[in-house]
Structure 1
Amino acid sequence: MSGGSYAGDGAYPSSYYAASAHSAPSRPPLAGDVETDVCVVGGGFTGLSAGLDLAEKGHRVVLLEGARIGWGASGRNGGQIVNGLNASLETIAARYGKATTDFVATVVQEGGAIIRERIAKYDIACDLKRGNIFTAFTAKQMAELEAKQALWRTYGHDNFEMLDAAGVRRHIATDAYLGGMIDHSGGHMHPLNLALGQAAALESRGGVIHEASPVVSIEALDGKPVVRTADGLVRPRTLILAGNAYLGGVVPELDTRIMPFSTQIIATEPLGARGRELLPTDMCVEDLRYILDYYRLSADGRLLFGGGTVYGGTDTADIRAKILPNLEKIFPSLKGARIDFAWSGNCAISFSRVPQMGRLGPNSYFACGYSGHGVVGSHLFGRILAEAVDGDLSRFDVFAHVPWTPFPGGRRFRVPYSALGSWWYGLRDRLGV
Structure 2
Amino acid sequence: MSHTPYPDSYYAASANPVPARPALAGAHDTDVCVIGAGYTGLSTALFLLEQGFQVTVLEAARVGFGASGRNGGQIVNSYSRDLDVIEKQVGAKHARQLGEMAFEGARIIRDRVRQYAIDCDLKDGGVFAAVNQKQLRQLEEQKALWERHGHGELQLLDAQAIRGVVDTDRYVGGMLDLSGGHIHPLNLALGEAAAVESLGGVIHEQSAVVQVEQGATPVVHTAHGQVRARFVVVAGNAYLGGLLPPLAAKSMPCGTQVIATEPLSEEVARRLLPQDYCVEDCNYLLDYYRLSADRRLIFGGGVVYGARDPANIEALIRPKLARTFPALRNVRIDYAWTGNFLLTLSRLPQVGRLGDNIYYSQGCSGHGVTYTHVAGKVLAEAIRGQAERFDAFAALPHYPFPGGRLFRVPFTALGAWYYQLRDRFGV
Please report the TM-score for the alignment, with normalisation by the length of structure 2: 0.99
Partner residue of 1:105 out of 90, 99, 102: 99
The 1-side partners of 2:365 and 2:410 are apart by: 17
Counterpart of 2:296? 302
Counterpart of 2:209? 215
* Matched residue count: 426
Counterpart of 1:341? 335
Q: CA deviation at 1:79?
A: 0.4
Q: CA deviation at 1:378?
A: 0.6
Counterpart of 1:228? 221
Counterpart of 1:409? 403
Residue 416 (structure 2) pairs with residue 426 (structure 1): no
List aligned pairs for 1:273-288, cutoff 5 A: 273-288=267-282
Change (3 A) 1:391 1:248: same
Residue 149 (structure 2) pairs with residue 155 (structure 1): yes
Partners of 2:299 and 2:321 within 8 A in 1: yes
Q: CA deviation at 1:168?
A: 0.5
The 2-side partners of 1:299 and 1:265 are apart by: 16
What secondary structure, in the 3-state scheme, does the structure 2 residue paired with 1:130 have?
strand
Q: CA deviation at 1:400?
A: 1.0
Counterpart of 1:312? 306
Partner residue of 2:108 out of 114, 120, 123: 114
Counterpart of 1:138? 132
The 1-side partners of 2:73 and 2:63 are apart by: 16
The 2-side partners of 1:133 and 1:339 are apart by: 24
What secondary structure, in the 3-state scheme, does the structure 2 residue paired with 1:250 have?
coil
Say which is worse superposed, 390-399 or 38-47, in terms of deviation. 390-399
Residue 27 (structure 2) pairs with residue 33 (structure 1): yes
Residue 227 (structure 2) pairs with residue 249 (structure 1): no
Partners of 1:294 and 1:306 within 8 A in 2: yes
What secondary structure, in the 3-state scheme, does the structure 2 residue paired with 1:342 have?
strand
| Aligned residue identity for 1:262 | G
**Over residues 40-91 of structure 1, what are the superposed CA-to-partner deviations in whole Å (9 max), with x where a residue is unaligned?**
0000000000001101111010000000000000000000000000011110
The 1-side partners of 2:250 and 2:179 are apart by: 31
What secondary structure, in the 3-state scheme, does the structure 2 residue paired with 1:193 have?
helix
Residue 219 (structure 2) pairs with residue 262 (structure 1): no
Uncovered stretches (5+) of structure 2, i.e. residues with no partner = none
**Over residues 170-205 of structure 1, what are the superposed CA-to-partner deviations in whole Å (9 max), with x where a residue is unaligned?**
010111101101001100000000000000000000
What secondary structure, in the 3-state scheme, does the structure 2 residue paired with 1:249 have?
coil
What secondary structure, in the 3-state scheme, does the structure 2 residue paired with 1:113 have?
helix
Partners of 2:129 and 2:175 within 8 A in 1: yes
| Aligned residue identity for 1:385 | L
Counterpart of 1:173? 167
Residue 63 (structure 2) pairs with residue 69 (structure 1): yes
The 1-side partners of 2:94 and 2:307 are apart by: 31
Q: CA deviation at 1:412?
A: 1.8
**Over residues 357-416 of structure 1, what are the superposed CA-to-partner deviations in whole Å (9 max), with x where a residue is unaligned?**
000110000000001110001111111001111121111111112222221222222111
What secondary structure, in the 3-state scheme, does the structure 1 residue paired with 2:227 have?
strand
| Aligned residue identity for 2:246 | E
Partners of 1:223 and 1:361 within 8 A in 2: no
| Aligned residue identity for 2:124 | R
Q: CA deviation at 1:155?
A: 2.0
What secondary structure, in the 3-state scheme, does the structure 1 residue paired with 2:34 have?
strand
The 2-side partners of 1:257 and 1:117 are apart by: 33
Counterpart of 2:11? 17
Q: CA deviation at 1:326?
A: 0.4
| Aligned residue identity for 1:227 | V
Counterpart of 1:5? none
- Give the root-mean-square deviation of aligned CA atoms: 0.8
Identity percentage of aligned residues: 56
Counterpart of 2:230? 237
Counterpart of 1:380? 374
What secondary structure, in the 3-state scheme, does the structure 1 residue paired with 2:242 have?
helix
Partners of 2:98 and 2:392 within 8 A in 1: no
Partners of 1:43 and 1:63 within 8 A in 2: yes
What secondary structure, in the 3-state scheme, does the structure 2 residue paired with 1:133 have?
strand
What secondary structure, in the 3-state scheme, does the structure 1 residue paired with 2:398 have?
coil
The 2-side partners of 1:410 and 1:368 are apart by: 19
What secondary structure, in the 3-state scheme, does the structure 1 residue paired with 2:386 have?
coil
Residue 105 (structure 2) pairs with residue 126 (structure 1): no
| Aligned residue identity for 1:248 | G
Moved over 4 A (4+): none
Q: CA deviation at 1:428?
A: 1.4
What secondary structure, in the 3-state scheme, does the structure 2 residue paired with 1:259 have?
strand
